[in-house]
Amino acid sequence: MNNALFGVSMILAVAAFGDTPSRIEIAPSKAGVSDRTGDVVLIMADGTRERLTQSEHCSDPKLGPSGLVGWTWASENNHGSWVNSHLRVQFGKRVVIDVQCAKPFIEEWGFSAQGVVAKSRSLHGPATIELFSLDDGHRVGSVDAFARDLPSWAAPFKD
């Protein structure tokens, strides 16, 4: 995606969406379910709430720069644990990227100056740290979390 067009899209989305989110949270998808997953809800500066997902298994929501929001989400349950191998970033209701990480469980993730960084791992073994472009979601880089000389974007996620 062209960065200039993305910038214009972001401005139009803010105008259409109304307000900039001041908080993001997970609301349980089903009453009484305590599996720490649920739907993503934005809370705007004026107090209004906007639910972005319906009946999904989302977790670890974060606010990003310039109104971006993101979270991990699971498409399957493996022995009682939701496999949150997907990472979605949106601007308002518009999906910017939706990527699947190298390993099944995303342990940590965050926005960086270079894009979005995610650390994922299987149930056991070493973790992988990946950098994804916010332009189109392609994987820009991937390193083992235990590597000695990590790139600057991966260093905060070192094992």
**What pLDDT shows up at residue 81?**
78
Residue in this structure with the two tokens 């189109």, named with its chain if needed: 136
**What pLDDT shows up at residue 75?**
87
Tokens of 150: 């990590």
Question: Total structural domains in the chain?
Answer: 1
For 100-149, the pLDDT digits (tens) are 999 999 999 999 999 999 999 998 899 999 999 999 999 999 999 999 99
pLDDT-derived band at 1 (thresholds 50, 70, 90) equals very low
Q: Is 29 left (phi over 0), alpha (psi -120 to 50) or beta?
A: alpha
Burial classification of residue 49, based on how many CB atoms lie within 10 Å of its CB (0-12 exposed, 13-18 middle, 19 or more buried): exposed
Tokens of 64: 């990003």
Residue type, 114: Q
Give residue 84's domain range. 3-157
**What is the pTM (predicted TM-score) of this model?**
0.83
For residues 42-50, average pLDDT: 92
Q: What is the CATH number of the domain that holds 151?
A: 2.40.128.630
